[in-house]
Amino acid sequence: MLFHSLEFLALLVAVASLSALLRGDARRLVLLGASAVFYASFDPRFLALLALVVVVDHGVARRIAATQDRALRRRLLWISVAVDLGALATFKYYGFFAGALAQLFEVFGATPPWHVTGLLLPVGISFYVFQSLGYVFDVHRGRAEPARLLDYALFLAFFPKLAAGPIERASGLLAQIRADPPPTVERSLAGGWLILVGLFKKVAVADPLGLIVDPHLASGLTGRGGDAVLVLVLAGTRIYADFSGYTDVARGAGRLLGYELAPNFRQPLFARNVQEFWGRWNMTLSLWIRDYLYYPMALNPRLGPRLGTGGLAVVTMVVMGIWHGASWNFVLWGLYHGFLLALYGRLRPRLHRFRNALAARGRTAWDLAGILATQSVVFGGGIFFATADLAAAGNVLAAIAVPPWGAELRAQEVGAALAHVLAILLLDLLEARSASPEPWLRWPWGARRGLQAVLAAGIAAALLLGRPQLPYQYFQF
C-alpha cells in the first residue's frame, strides 16, 4: 500500500475520522489495527516478525527496569540485541553472507554445501528494529520508562512511519502515545500541507526522474562521461525527492492522527560540508548512529583512543552503509563517506579559520563553493548507492572516464529532468531562506492558495500522463 495510492488515502481518511471520535485505549486499538492492515497489505507474514520484536523487547525492557542487578540487566540487554539483530541478519543479510562464503569455497575449488537463496525482506525491518533497540537502550540507561504492551506496540507499528521511518524515540512518539493528544484543526491543516508537499515530491518529481534514470542505469551507461555525471545527479535528486517526500507524507499523516513525528530532512542539498550534510539527511538515523554507536565507542577507554575521531567516523559510516543494504556497494559507500568525514574533521579547523578571515562577500562565495563541492562528492558517492552491484558501479565509473558528452540522454529528457531538479531546489530554497520550517503555513492567504494550486497541478499532471507508480526507494531498506 503505497502512500500515493487511493487505498492509502482511503485508509488514512477513515482512520483519522474514527480516531478523532475516540480517546484512550479505544483510540490506540483503532490505530494499531489500522497499522496491522497497512503492514499486511505488503505481506501478512511480515506481521509475525514485527509482533516477535514487539513482544521480546517489551518484555526485556520491563524486566530491565524491574531489577538493579547490573549483570542481569546486561544479559537482558544482550537478549534484545541478539533477537533484533538476529532477525535483521537473517532476513536482510543471509543471502549476502551466504553468497560471500560460497565464493570463498569456490576460490579453493570446493563446492559450498548449500544453495544460496535470498529471503523475502520484510518492509521497514531496518527502521523498526533500530527503533526498538533504541527504546531498550534508553530503558537500560534509565532515560525511558517501560511502556505498556499496547502503547509499545503502537509506538513500533504506527503505520505512517512503519515502512521507512522516521526512527522515533521513546521521548518523542511514545510519550505522545501515552499522553493521547487529540487531533486539532490547526495540526490537521498543517498535516494536510505536508501530505500535499510530499505527494508532489514523489509523484511529480521523484517518479518522473526514476523513469528517466532507471533505464540508463540498467543499461550500464554506455555513453560518454557527461551523460554518466548527469544521470548520477538525477539519481541522487530522485532519491532525495522520493525519501523526503515519503517523510513529508508520513509526518502529515501523523498530524492528522494527532501525533508529531520527528523531522528527517533539513534541506541537505544546501549543506556546505559533508558533516553538515549528515546533520541534514536522514537525521533520525544519523542521530541513532551517533547516540547508540559513535558515542559508546568514543567513550570506551580502549576503543575510543585507538580509533580516534577519523576511525570512529569510518566505522560508523560503514555500519550505516550496511544498514542500507546487503551488498559490497553499500560497504564501499559507507567507507567512502567515512573517509570524507574523517578528512573533513582533519581540515575543519583550517577551513573555519580561512572562512572567518574573509569579508562578508567572500564568506558568501565560500559557502556557495562549499555547497557545490559537498553536493559533488555526495552525488559522486551515489555511484555505489544507485547501482545494483560492483560491476554496474564499475560501468558507471568507466563511462565517466569517457569525455565529454554523448547522446545517451536525449535533449527532451535532459530538459524534463532539469525542470524536476529545479522544482525540488525551489521547494528547499523556500524553507532554507525561512527562519522556521514549513514557511508556507505563515504566508498570506493568497500566496498559500497559489502554492497549493501549483503543487496540486503538478500532481494532477503527473497522474494524467498515466505514468506507472514506482515504489518508494527506501522500502528496500
Query: What percent of the chain has pLDDT above 90?
Result: 65
pLDDT (mean) for 391-406: 72
Residue 80's pLDDT is what?
96
Distance CA 53, CA 61 (A): 12
Active-site residue (options: 324, 337, 352, 420):
324
Q: How many CA atoms lie within 13 A of 209 on its CB side?
A: 31
Residue 348's pLDDT is what?
93
Structure-block grid coordinates of residue 319? 555500519
Residue 3's pLDDT is what?
87
- pLDDT over 60 at 351, yes or no: yes
Of the listed ranges 61-70, 103-112, 303-312, 315-324, the one predicted with least confidence: 103-112
- pLDDT over 60 at 114, yes or no: no
pLDDT (mean) for 350-378: 93
Residue 107's pLDDT is what?
63
Asked if residues 268 and 281 have their Cβ atoms less than 8 Å apart, the reply is yes
Give which of 307, 202, 194, 311 is closest to 256, Cα–Cα: 194
**Between residues 62 and 427, which one has the greater pLDDT?**
62
Residue 417 banded pLDDT, cuts 50, 70, 90: confident
Residue 232's pLDDT is what?
86
Residue 22's pLDDT is what?
92
pLDDT digit string (tens) for 19-52? 999 999 999 999 999 999 999 999 999 999 999 9
**Between residues 288 and 217, which one has the greater pLDDT?**
288
Residue 395's pLDDT is what?
78
What HEC string does the chain produce?
CCCCCHHHHHHHHHHHHHHCCCCHHHHHHHHHHHHHHHHHCCCCCHHHHHHHHHHHHHHHHHHHHHCCCHHHHHHHHHHHHHHHHHHHHHHHHHHHHHHHHHHHHHHCCCCCCCCCCCCCCCCCHHHHHHHHHHHHHHHHCCCCCCCCHHHHHHHHHCHHHHCCCCCCCHHHHHHHHHHCCCCCHHHHHHHHHHHHHHHHHHHHHHHHHHHHHHHHHHCCCCCCHHHHHHHHHHHHHHHHHHHHHHHHHHHHHHHHCCCCCCCCCCCHHHCCCHHHHHCCCCHHHHHHHHHHHHHHHHHCCCHHHHHHHHHHHHHHHHHHHHHHCCCHHHHHHHHHHHHHHHHHHHHHHHHHHHHHCCCHHHHHHHHHHHHHHHHHHHHHHHHHHHCCCHHHHHHHHHHHCCCCCCCCCCHHHHHHHHHHHHHHHHHHHHHHCCCCCCHHHHCCHHHHHHHHHHHHHHHHHHHHCCCCCCCCHHHHC
Residue 228 banded pLDDT, cuts 50, 70, 90: confident
Residue 128's pLDDT is what?
96
pLDDT (mean) for 92-112: 67
Burial class of residue 345, CB neighbours in 10 A (0-12, 13-18, 19+) = middle
Residue 337 banded pLDDT, cuts 50, 70, 90: very high
Residue 462's pLDDT is what?
86
- pLDDT over 60 at 472, yes or no: yes
pLDDT digit string (tens) for 435-447? 778 888 888 989 9
Residue 123's pLDDT is what?
92
Residue 430's pLDDT is what?
87
pTM: 0.91
**Between residues 437 and 337, which one has the greater pLDDT?**
337
Residue 220's pLDDT is what?
64
Instruction: Kindly report each contact of residues 302-305 with a partner whose C-beta sits within 8 Å and lies 24 or more positions away, as own/partner.
Output: none
pLDDT digit string (tens) for 173-207? 999 999 998 888 899 999 999 999 999 999 999 99
Asked if residues 471 and 2 have their Cβ atoms less than 8 Å apart, the reply is yes
Residue 100's pLDDT is what?
64
Of the listed ranges 26-35, 43-52, 260-269, 464-473, the one predicted with least confidence: 464-473
pLDDT (mean) for 214-240: 79
Query: What percent of the chain has pLDDT above 70?
Result: 91
Residue 112 banded pLDDT, cuts 50, 70, 90: low
Residue 96's pLDDT is what?
67
Whose cell is 548520477? That residue is: 232
Of the listed ranges 186-200, 227-241, 330-344, the one predicted with least confidence: 227-241
Choose the most confident range, by mean pLDDT, from 105-109, 214-218, 418-422: 418-422
Q: Please confirm, yes or no, whether 140 is among the known catalytic residues.
A: no
Residue 407 banded pLDDT, cuts 50, 70, 90: low
Cα 415 to the center of its chain, rounded Å: 28
Residue 116's pLDDT is what?
55
